[in-house]
Amino acid sequence: MNWVLTAIGAATMTYITAPMFLELLRRSGAVRNNYLGESVPVAGGFLLLWMGCLWVLISSFSSLSQDYRFMANPGLLIGLAGLGFGFMGLVDDILGSREQSGLVGHLRELFTGRLTTGALKALLGVAFGLVLAMGRGWVGPSPLAVRLSMLVVDGLLIAGSANLLNLLDLRPGRAGKSFLLGAFAVIGWGNPMSLLVLPFVGGLIGFLPYDLKGQAMMGDTGANGLGAVLGLTALYAFHFRIRLLLLVAILAIHIVAERVSLSKVIEEFPPLKALDRWGRPDP
């Protein structure tokens, strides 16, 4: 199946069904105050993740041969990444509090014996990232120590990408636009496997108009899921050295975010500020 068609299908279905889904969230009480203090539905990213997963799995399974190993199916792994990390974000959206912020704050609470949804998400995220990296394939002719090192880097890249998009999800459309930039960079690298991200690009495009207008938040659900999808796709697209550099950059951003507001950093750089505000109705 043409991957462009899957993107169009996911975008269309997400855009059409989003109003009903967002109204369902509002009626169910799944709302949160945004940065302007307005009460809007949260966890709207659940819809776009499911649409992306449906289309990527339909397209992947339609091209399977009889001897294709089930767990080696890249479409299945990317679908699992989106839904698995999205579910972790959903738990944080519904059950989490905002008493603690930042990864360090959640880990500090964990060391005192108090488990927060943020710490739970971080621990499960690293574990699930390692499993996904293992499912992608880590057995080969290289020495065991080298393969284990690659596995750790790849697993942390998936988990780090998921949390990075979550850190950016503080203004309407910011996480979504960041995902699009990352997805186009991965696709532009030229590896055909990177086209697996297109159904999620489509799902996001269908949801983005509601996000940009402040009518809904994709929440940790959408940001975590999309970040994990992008991280896993990067494993297929880039060589190990590039993946290692990406991980270092992601860790550096996390360190900066613990000390400085990323929103403040974006506001102080005109190009980033212009991109961040593009499509948003607020001044």
Is residue 80 classed as helix, strand or coil in its secondary structure? helix
Reported as a single tens digit per residue, the pLDDT across 129-160 is 999 999 887 666 678 888 899 999 999 999 99
Tally of CB atoms within 10 A around 76: 18
C-alpha to C-alpha distance for 201 and 4, rounded to whole angstroms: 10
What are the structural domain ranges in the chain?
A: 3-277
Q: Which residue has the higher pLDDT, 49 or 119?
A: 49
Q: How big is the chain, counted in residues?
A: 283
**Average pLDDT across the chain, whole number:** 87
Reported as a single tens digit per residue, the pLDDT across 232-276 is 999 989 999 999 999 999 999 999 988 888 888 898 989 988 999
The angle, 0 to 180 degrees and rounded to 10, between the axes of the packed helices 198-212 and 219-237 is: 150
DSSP 8-state symbol, 50: H
The backbone torsions φ and ψ at residue 116, rounded to the nearest 5 degrees and listed phi first, read -105, 160
Q: pTM score, two decimals?
A: 0.90
